[in-house]
Amino acid sequence: MVSDKPRIVKVLDVREESQTVRSLIFEDDPCSKAKPGQFVMVWILGVDEIPMSISMTKADGLAGFTVRKVGEASAALFDMKVGSLLGVRGPYGKHFTNIIGDVMIVGAGTGLAPLMPLSEVLTQNLSSIYMIIGGKTIDEFVFVDRARATLSKTKSEIIITTEDGSYGTKGLATDAMEPILKERQIDMIYTCGPELMIKKVLEIAQEFSVPIQASLERIMKCGIGICGSCCIGRYRVCKDGPVFDSPKLEEIIDELGSFKRDHSGRVAMI
Amino acid sequence: MQEPDLSIEISSLKMESPLMLASGILGTSIDLLRRVFEAGAGAVVTKSVGYEQRTGYNNPTIVEVYGGYLNAIGLSNPGIKEFHKELSRSKIDDLPLVVSLFGADPLEFREMISLLDELEVKAYELNISCPHVKGFGAEVCQDSKLVGEIIEAVKTETQKPVFVKLSPNVTDIVHTAKLAEDTGADALTVANTFRAMAIDIETGRPILANKIGGLSGPAIKPIAVRCVYEIYQNVDIPIIGCGGVVDWEDAIEFFLAGATAIQIGTGIAYEGLSVFEKIKQGVKDYLIVKGKRSVREIVGLAHGFR
């Protein structure tokens, strides 16, 4: 009988994205059909099960996610080799809805993971894309070459920002938004990354009356909308998100970028 | 014909609908509980809160199996003081809010209730039936003396209704039910999940990090219906049926077995939050077809057969 249990898959390829970031590629038919913005629950055998944005899908049944080494679970994933076994459930959650028009993508760090497959879909639609990639310093950048290759297929621009000025323009990713928004009519802004950045993106989008879609992150346990661990306002990130549109983001703006819950459900300031 | 009446009362808790949100599902924040209330629940029960903060088990904490879900969350909760703070800053006066509590002994329960009782909490549900945490839950339920002491202690601390959620993982659930009634419980929630496990055959590993968890969902419904039926024959206090309700037919079965209200948990995994309105409509239609004016008229009807 079919039930939504973890499917055991083998790691087929490990891609070094930066010193602390790797992408793991595996074969799984449902994941290969994931829409941009959806996530997969990844079971690291004997360690934990964590949500990961799908950062790559291929027509031949392959899919991948991208992990930055931060905690125990992500470090265990980071250390996986070709041939290592993983469990996957999903893909789950609300995906980005793509539009045809002029769009802006604002991302930072591994927040770019769900934005990469999105940009690939958007270029197929021949949308013009302004992609702003931010980071603290030059060593932290991932996916820049992939973004350049993808965006070369359409009328687009990539803007790099670093807080220390070591790469691209000195400043925050959000600083690069206003000059573009003043000059052009942008039809949609997509964003993922640190929550304070997302909040700023939302505020700027509101100022220019541009709709936005943002992918959010919270601690997840079930991934299917029943345990409530990933609550934000009246929403569940796993089921009502992870991609939220402007009306929903405006509803949760008090919580956005200000607090989240730990594994016990206790409120912690961001 | 007049629209059938779905309102019920359990002790002093008045509910517009007999469908409640079960504990452990979406009960992590007041905002989410309110959303479930607005989706049609007559009352909402929080995720169980204990005296101390607990992070719970590592994932996987939930896995789907044929006929239901297994979970072993591990009673993760922010601790009673933090929970009190959260309730204090939320608007809850208009919310039919039931707080679920777990604890190891009468003192813990008393202290938690003395802290919460000033707030607009409408009732308490004592979780003495979690099947997978050592020292709490079902281990308490297996100790009759302790169950009685906890209920008596809680009743001296509050005037509000006290529901006792029973474990089916005991030899004789009717015995515990009678004991709970005798020591002052205002209603019984019957039942909790059943100890169970699932193993991944590819790797040979138990899937849940805690290895053993509790089974919920359609697979346990006939067992929970039997528990309600047997208890109804032996106690006079109201019974809240809980276990595998996914559609209105399931709910009707519980009413006929003797439940005054029912709780829905895993049903949300299958049907989403619209499960409350769907079941409500189905129950109303059934009552119309059967010529009943109120859901209260069908409670326990299955007992009328020789």
Answer yes or no: is pLDDT of B277 > 70: yes
User: Residue A34 gets which letter from DSSP?
Assistant: P
Distances (CA, A) of A167 to A16, A114, A164, A176, A182: 20, 23, 8, 14, 24
The reply to whether CATH 3.40.50.80 applies to domain A102-269 is yes
CA distance A54 to B76: 28
Is residue B289 classed as helix, strand or coil in its secondary structure? helix
Q: Do A234 and B202 touch (CB under 8 A)?
A: no
How close, in Å, is residue B247 to chain A by CA atoms? Answer: 17
Q: Tell me which H or E stretch contains A56.
A: strand A48-57
Strand partners, A68: A21
Range of the domain at B261: 8-56+75-195+217-304
The answer to which of B66-70, B156-160, B170-174, B280-284 has the lowest mean pLDDT is B170-174
Task: Please state the rounded mean pLDDT for residues A152-176.
Answer: 94
Q: What angle do CA B140, B191, B193 make, to 5 degrees?
A: 80
Q: What is the pLDDT of residues A54-94, one digit of tens each?
A: 999 998 999 999 999 999 999 999 999 999 999 999 999 99
Per the CB < 8 A criterion, the answer to whether B174 and B234 are in contact is yes
Whole-model pTM above 0.90?
yes
**Per-residue model confidence (pLDDT) at position A140:** 83
**pLDDT-derived band at A182, boundaries 50, 70, 90:** very high
Active-site amino acid positions of B: 130
Per the CB < 8 A criterion, the answer to whether A72 and A100 are in contact is no
Q: What is the pLDDT of residues A222-238, one digit of tens each?
A: 999 999 999 999 999 99
**Per-residue model confidence (pLDDT) at position A1:** 58
Q: What sign has the CA pseudo-torsion A114, A223, A249, A268?
A: negative
A40, A43, A88, A256, best to mutate vs chain B, most B CBs in 10 Å:
A43
Task: Note whether residue B158 is domain-resident.
Answer: yes
CB-based contact, A251 to chain B, within 8 Å: no
> Residue holding tokens 């930072």?
A108
The CATH code of the domain that includes B104 is: 3.20.20.70
Extents of the domains making up chain A: 7-92, 102-269
CA distance B49 to B77: 6
Task: Note whether residue B148 is domain-resident.
Answer: yes
CB-based contact, A234 to chain B, within 8 Å: yes
CB-based contact, B202 to chain A, within 8 Å: yes
Task: Note whether residue B258 is domain-resident.
Answer: yes
**Per-residue model confidence (pLDDT) at position B1:** 64
Answer yes or no: is pLDDT of A113 > 80: yes
Task: Note whether residue B208 is domain-resident.
Answer: no
Q: Which residue of A has its CA nearest to B201?
A: A8
Q: What is the pLDDT of residues A127-139, one digit of tens each?
A: 799 999 999 999 8
More confident residue, B137 or B250: B250
**Per-residue model confidence (pLDDT) at position A267:** 94
Specify the number of domains making up chain B. Answer: 1
Task: Note whether residue B99 is domain-resident.
Answer: yes
B23, B51, B59, B88, best to mutate vs chain A, most A CBs in 10 Å:
B59
Q: What is the dihedral of CA B120, B5, B238, B233, to 10 degrees?
A: -170
CA distance A201 to A206: 9
Q: Do B47 and A228 touch (CB under 8 A)?
A: yes
Chain B residues lying within 8 Å of A226, measured CB to CB = 25-26, 62, 69, 265-266, 268-269
What the block records as the tokens of A124 is: 């197929």
Q: What is the pLDDT of residues B112-154, one digit of tens each?
A: 999 999 999 999 999 998 777 777 777 777 888 899 999 999 9
Strand partners, A87: A8, A43
Task: Note whether residue B84 is domain-resident.
Answer: yes
Q: Tell me which H or E stretch contains A42.
A: strand A39-44
Per the CB < 8 A criterion, the answer to whether B263 and B195 are in contact is no
ipTM: 0.94
**Per-residue model confidence (pLDDT) at position A14:** 98
CATH class of A7-92: mainly beta
Task: Note whether residue B70 is domain-resident.
Answer: no
Chain A residues lying within 8 Å of B54, measured CB to CB = 264
How close, in Å, is residue B241 to chain A by CA atoms? Answer: 19
Answer yes or no: is pLDDT of A254 > 80: yes
B280-302: buried (b, 16+ CB within 10 Å) or exposed (e) per residue?
bebbbebbeeeeeeebeebbbeb
